[in-house]
Amino acid sequence: MKDLSRRDFFALGAAAGLVARPSTLAQFAAERAPREMCVFSKPLQHLGFKELAAEVSRMGFSGIEAPVRPGGHIEPERVPEELPLLVDALRERGLSMTVLTSEINRADQDHARTTLETAAKLGIRRYRLKYYRYDLSKPVIPQLDNFRRMLEELVALNAELGIKGIYQNHSGGNYVGAPIWDLHELIEGLSNEHIGVAYDIGHARVEGGMCWRIQHNLIRARIDTLYIKDFIWSGKKRVNVPLGEGNLDRKIFRSLLSADFRGPISLHMEHVDHRKPELAKQRVAAIEADQAFMQRWLKK
């Protein structure tokens, strides 16, 4: 069969009712494009760069979310020398650094510019910010205004360097972003190209309870990356568990993966202790099990 010209393709598509206009074709293609699936590599920090890339490739992920912070894969002061080595190791396996997880939440802090400048030059598109915290002995709103000013300066740096920051919602008594409304206020009006949300389903479910849909509705337009994890309540304590064994049900998962979200998905396996070297094999097995479960949900 001979190759179709662009005109012939659109003529056939229009006749079939598939491509009445270019925007329909783009939407049609986007809805069927494979999702970018990465793994938060904190549980794999016992591996060297090349070993890490080989293991992530074997497991079938498209990339990693890499801790580049104190105690992570790379210490902040070593970024200019070591980040290119990690990126090269990933690229040799056809992988990318989907998210660089940092300790950065101010434009003027040590190593912030160097880290982001190096990342941008290497083609890394996004980084995760360190969270802000409230002092609950003081009024919340003036603190939120102060954090907003700090974030505006950081967004200006992002725009200068051509990179996007993403802010993760955490659960807890004094995290900025835990109740979601304040995260909405924090980034409202700021460039969507340079600041967005790393929406953590587990933490959102902890804080949102039965009203998680309201929170998701409020923030959904700013979600850049989706974080997947599961949990149960043990008394008053949140306990991380394998996917499918906790409070994250398929309805929540599918709702969050609606057609208007096409960003990356990052698997966060946190139910096997990452600090114990003797549990390295169990961590790998747990990641594989969570990934297999997530893939089953995606296909249903």
Q: Give the pLDDT confidence score for residue 259 in this predicted structure.
A: 60
pLDDT band at 8 (very low <50, low <70, confident <90, very high): very low
Whether residue 264 sits in one domain with residue 193: yes
Q: Give the pLDDT confidence score for residue 257 in this predicted structure.
A: 73
Whether residue 1 sits in one domain with residue 75: no
- The Cα 50–Cα 37 span in angstroms is 19
pLDDT band at 126 (very low <50, low <70, confident <90, very high): very high
pLDDT (tens digit, 9 = 90+) per residue, 210-264? 888 899 889 999 999 999 999 999 998 999 999 999 988 777 777 777 767 889 9
The CATH number assigned to the domain holding 125 equals 3.20.20.150
Whether residue 289 sits in one domain with residue 264: yes
Most confident among 3-7, 26-30, 171-175, 259-263 (mean pLDDT): 171-175
pLDDT band at 33 (very low <50, low <70, confident <90, very high): low
Whether residue 158 sits in one domain with residue 10: no
Q: Give the pLDDT confidence score for residue 198 in this predicted structure.
A: 97
The strand ranges marked E within the chain are: 37-40, 63-67, 96-101, 126-128, 164-168, 195-200, 223-228, 230-234, 237-241, 265-267
Q: Provide the number of structural domains found in the chain.
A: 2
Whether residue 220 sits in one domain with residue 86: yes
Secondary structure of residue 278 in the 3-state scheme:
helix
Q: Give the pLDDT confidence score for residue 115 in this predicted structure.
A: 98
pLDDT (tens digit, 9 = 90+) per residue, 262-287? 899 999 999 999 989 999 999 999 99
Whether residue 64 sits in one domain with residue 29: no
Whether residue 256 sits in one domain with residue 111: yes
The tokens for 29 are: 């293609």
- The Cα 56–Cα 61 span in angstroms is 6
Q: Which residues contact 71 (CB under 8 A, 6 or more apart)?
A: none
Q: Residues 16-31: what's their mean pLDDT?
A: 43
Whether residue 27 sits in one domain with residue 104: no
pLDDT band at 34 (very low <50, low <70, confident <90, very high): low
Whether residue 179 sits in one domain with residue 292: yes
Q: Give the pLDDT confidence score for residue 300 in this predicted structure.
A: 66
- The Cα 159–Cα 156 span in angstroms is 5
pLDDT (tens digit, 9 = 90+) per residue, 128-182? 999 999 999 999 999 999 999 999 999 999 999 999 999 999 999 999 999 999 9
Whether residue 254 sits in one domain with residue 222: yes
* pTM of the predicted protein model: 0.87
pLDDT band at 43 (very low <50, low <70, confident <90, very high): very high
The tokens for 98 are: 């989907």
Whether residue 46 sits in one domain with residue 23: no
What is the extent of the structural domain holding 16?
1-33
Alpha helices, DSSP H only, in 33-139?
Answer: 49-59, 79-92, 112-121
Stronger pLDDT, 38 or 3, i.e. the higher one? 38
pLDDT (tens digit, 9 = 90+) per residue, 54-81? 999 999 999 999 999 999 999 999 999 9
Pick from 22-26, 121-125, 278-282: least confident: 22-26
Stronger pLDDT, 260 or 94, i.e. the higher one? 94
The tokens for 250 are: 């398929």
**Per-residue DSSP letter, 231:** E
Angle separating helix axes 212-219 and 201-208, nearest 10 degrees:
130
Whether residue 88 sits in one domain with residue 22: no
Stronger pLDDT, 47 or 7, i.e. the higher one? 47
